[in-house]
A and B are shown apart, each in its own frame.
Chain A
Amino acid sequence: MSEATGGIHMEEGGGGKIKKFLYLNRKAPYGTIYALESLEVVLIAAAFDQDVSLAFIDDGVYQIVKGQHTKGIDVKNFSPTFRALEGYDIEKLYVEKESMEARSLKETDFLVPVKVVNAAEMADIMQSQDVVLSF
């Protein structure tokens, strides 16, 4: 994903302001590119020293399930990248309980540690942000 870093200007990074950024993921991977390109933004965002959270609701929860093998569709499997987020100090990953359960998923099905929250808690998380990016 190194191509995504082109043109980044750290010194213009916002003059010390720290904002709360939420990356809201509501779409499944592979059928469309949104999940992958959202993750590319998150990786860049890590360099800006902002307060970053990721939320997975609706079909977005499918992005982080274990066992993704994409060789057969000839598309890059980007799911291991979620495991790298910790190295970028991005540790606030929230999964909505209702979305997870509606898809017969459990916390142990995910390839990264997540915090499972209910819809009301998720609404509070959204409300507390300065910037919400949804792709």
Chain B
Amino acid sequence: MLHTVNKSPTERNTLESCLKHVNKGSVVLLIEDGVYGALKGTTSTKMVEQALKNFPIYALYPDIEARGMQDRVIDGIKLVDYSGFVELAAEHSSVQSWL
């Protein structure tokens, strides 16, 4: 399944909670303020890098760029646009939004 996260990990535990519930074959997409979870050198970077060993994590590039974070993204996080978001939703059997 596709999990989306739209909260900053330095404000809420949403990303942390999501990452504990991702099974094999599932992926995570960070959107809106969730893209702050895609950044290098933050208090949640280690958790995200660890998760990347087990499943892919994507981030919505227009949201990253809007926030001026384009040069800070963790290597290994895949960037997508809205079209890529649609593809991820279509490829997976269901979508769970972590609100």
Contact = CB atoms under 8 A, between A and B. Distances in A.
Do A's and B's CB atoms come within 8 Å in the complex? yes
Contacts of B99: 26, 134-135
Interface string A109-131: 00000000001001110110111
Interface stretch (B13-21, B34-42, B44-52, B80-88): B13-21
Contact of B23 (A58, A123, A131): A123
Contact of B96 (A58, A98, A132, A135): A132
Contact of B1 (A26, A127, A134, A135): A127
Contacts of A130: 93-94
How many interface residues does chain B have, given as a range? 10 to 19
A113 to B, nearest CB: 23
A52 interface: no
Contact of A127 (B13, B20, B23): B23
A24 B94 CA distance: 14
B89 interface: no
A26 B17 contact: yes
A123 B21 CA distance: 5
B10 interface: no
Interface string A1-38: 00000000000000000000000101000000000000
A64 interface: no
A100 interface: no
Contacts of A134: 96-99
B17 A24 contact: no
Among A122, A124, A127, max chain B CB count under 10 A is at: A127
A57 interface: yes
Interface string B1-37: 1000000000001100100111100100000000000
A125 to B, nearest CB: 9
A40 B53 CA distance: 39
A67 B95 CA distance: 35
A104 B91 CA distance: 39
A127 B94 CA distance: 8
Interface of B: 1, 13-14, 17, 20-23, 26, 93-99
